[in-house]
Chains A and B, each alone.
Chain A
Amino acid sequence: MRSADRNTGANPSPDNTLKKWEKPHLPKPVTAVFSAVVTFSVWILIWQIAYANIGISFIFPSPYQVVVELLRLLPQKKFIISVTGSMLRVILGYLIGIAASVAASFASHFFLPLKIFFSPFVKIVRATPVASFILICVLWMPSEAVPVFIAFLMVFPVVYENTLTGLSETPVELKEVASVYGFSRRQKLTLLYIPSVAPYFASACTTSLGLAWKAGISAEVLCVTRDSIGYYIYISKQYFETASLFAWTVAIIVLSVLLELAIKKSVGALQRAVRRKYAGK
């Protein structure tokens, strides 16, 4: 409501005259869409200018060439198959990573030796370049498994550490209530731990999906995994098909945005479901 200060002034102005700061504004979504379109156009323009100055399309394609290439790829069977394959592998690794890290963080919270045990693992995974892991993994597992494992590896430290933080922030006052009144394990889980962990878990899920997606595709490139986005990126690079390389990259970005939207929706739905189930509303 923009009319809040209308009632408070000592000199209320008649209803039909708007004060200076009450000039009608465009509704929010319209301005948002407008500014997004402008920003997007400016960047495309910069791209086009760069292209015009470089002038070698097999090193740096124009936006138009990339769009044409993308439209050529879209209906192809290999596009559908590779996009599906890449998504399935990354999502599989992601889900395994979430399950494992949640279990590990709860276990670590209640059993210190486990926390000490996991600590170097988490630190090393965080500090090591993904490429090192990918190249090591190629030696040990089939090329289809590497992206799954790498996605897992990206998710684990993020969700593990966030869940642990959430657990450590469980309010002491309520823990004392639970202990005084002899709450069951189930009550402690649903009344103490899940509410404290939920916000951390939700943000970790969103952050780590992006990480897993990018790292998973890097793994596909380096392992030349069949039927994958990474595979076609690798091929495009081998044959200097730069427009195709760009087109695949655009596809990756679009899919990343879609995945993020999907995960935000799912996490929101999950939180609401948990609240409904355990809070009786």
Chain B
Amino acid sequence: MPESENRSVILDSVCKSFGEKIVLKNFSLKIPYGSKTVIKGPSGCGKTTLLRILAGLIFPDHGTVTGTQGKKTAVLFQEDRLFPTLTALENVSAVVPGNSKKEVAAKILTELGLGDPENLNSYPAQLSGGMKRRCAIARALAYDADIVLLDEALKGLDAENAENCARVIHSYTADKTVVSVTHLDTSLEKDYQKVVMPMNTF
């Protein structure tokens, strides 16, 4: 086994179907630790499914995923999935390990333009769509993860915020393994390794 095999996340001939619908067929991909990968493909081609397999939320029908065991994984879900009973600050601080959770959370939120106390103490229902997205991004970055999985990371953000969020994501994930899936061309992924995921037509 070559050295690099021990230092990568490897998807080997992964197959996944939902009932009759085949979503992934013999999908293989090597993602070296610390690398940045973007997987691009049309809506419905199985990007979210792939990300869920990487996150260990669902399992492939056939094939194997190696290199994710024992690694901490942060997921920025395609939907924001914030806790409605927590404020923006609490949603983020909930995933921060160790002490000074609030400070760490507030710092990231501030960098993403939500540093105003009014925003920090708002519940998700009181935030705009783009604010919720930034809060979800902050949560994914605040977690002390080895692997960061991003699903349509900059969804619903205006150009200025998208640019800033991309910069903040880069700075927080410099030494992490990042897999981003999207159907758009965004500035976030311009230096990422590109993988094209075609629409399955089986």
Q: Give the interface of A toward B (CB within 8 A).
A: 173-174, 176-177, 179-183, 187, 191, 195, 275, 278-281
CB contacts between A and B, total, < 8 Å: 45
Q: Which residues on the A side are within 8 Å of B55 (C-beta)?
A: 180
Stretch of B7-15, B71-79, B156-164 with 4 or more beta carbons under 8 angstroms from chain A: B71-79
Stretch of B30-38, B61-69, B80-88, B178-186 with 4 or more beta carbons under 8 angstroms from chain A: B80-88
Determine whether the beta carbon of A174 is less than 8 Å from that of B86: no
Q: Which residues on the B side are within 8 Å of A173 (C-beta)?
A: 77, 79, 81
B95 within 8 A of A: yes
Determine whether the beta carbon of A191 is less than 8 Å from that of B75: no
Q: List 18 A-B contacts (CB under 8 A).
A: A173-B77, A174-B81, A177-B81, A179-B57, A180-B55, A180-B74, A180-B75, A181-B74, A181-B95, A182-B72, A183-B94, A187-B94, A191-B86, A191-B94, A279-B85, A279-B86, A279-B87, A280-B90
| Given the contacts A176-B57, A180-B57, A181-B94, A191 and B74 also touching, CB distance less than 8 Å | no
Q: Give the interface of B toward A (CB within 8 A).
A: 55, 57, 72-75, 77, 79, 81, 83-87, 90, 94-95, 121, 123, 139, 143
Determine whether the beta carbon of A275 is less than 8 Å from that of B85: yes
Q: Which residues on the B side are within 8 Å of A275 (C-beta)?
A: 85
Q: Which 7 A-B pairs have the closest CB atoms?
A: A181-B95, A279-B85, A180-B75, A177-B81, A173-B81, A191-B83, A195-B85
| Given the contacts A180-B57, A181-B143, A281 and B77 also touching, CB distance less than 8 Å | no
Determine whether the beta carbon of B57 is less than 8 Å from that of A191: no
B125 to A: closest C-beta gap in Å: 12
Q: Determine which of B73, B79, B81, B86 lies in contact with A280 in the assembled complex, contact meaning CB atoms within 8 Å.
A: B86
A206 to B: closest C-beta gap in Å: 22
Interface of A is mostly: helix
- C-alpha gap A195/B83 in the complex (Å): 10
Known contacts A173-B81, A176-B81, then 5 further A-B pairs from the complex at CB < 8 Å, ordered by chain A residue: A180-B73, A181-B94, A181-B139, A191-B85, A279-B86
The chain B residue with its CB closest to the CB of A181 is B95
Output the residue of B87, B95, B123, B139 with the most chain A CB within 10 A. B95
- C-alpha gap A281/B121 in the complex (Å): 9
Q: Which residues on the B side are within 8 Å of A179 (C-beta)?
A: 57
Q: Which residues on the B side are within 8 Å of A183 (C-beta)?
A: 94
Q: Which residues on the A side are within 8 Å of B57 (C-beta)?
A: 176, 179-180
Q: Which residues on the A side are within 8 Å of B90 (C-beta)?
A: 279-280
Q: Which residues on the B side are within 8 Å of A187 (C-beta)?
A: 94
B137 to A: closest C-beta gap in Å: 14
- C-alpha gap A278/B75 in the complex (Å): 24
- C-alpha gap A27/B90 in the complex (Å): 42
Q: Which residues on the B side are within 8 Å of A182 (C-beta)?
A: 72
The chain A residue with its CB closest to the CB of B58 is A176
Q: Which residues on the A side are within 8 Å of B143 (C-beta)?
A: 181
Determine whether the beta carbon of B81 is less than 8 Å from that of A278: no
- C-alpha gap A176/B80 in the complex (Å): 12
Q: Which residues on the A side are within 8 Å of B94 (C-beta)?
A: 181, 183, 187, 191
Q: Which residues on the A side are within 8 Å of B81 (C-beta)?
A: 173-174, 176-177
The chain A residue with its CB closest to the CB of B90 is A280
Q: Which residues on the A side are within 8 Å of B83 (C-beta)?
A: 174, 177, 191
The chain A residue with its CB closest to the CB of B72 is A182
Q: Which residues on the B side are within 8 Å of A174 (C-beta)?
A: 81, 83
Output the residue of A177, A275, A279 with the most chain B CB within 10 A. A177
Determine whether the beta carbon of B85 is less than 8 Å from that of A278: yes
- C-alpha gap A138/B169 in the complex (Å): 70
Q: Which residues on the B side are within 8 Å of A195 (C-beta)?
A: 84-85
B120 to A: closest C-beta gap in Å: 11
Output the residue of A182, A183, A275 with the most chain B CB within 10 A. A182
B110 to A: closest C-beta gap in Å: 19
Q: Which residues on the B side are within 8 Å of A278 (C-beta)?
A: 85
- C-alpha gap A177/B143 in the complex (Å): 12
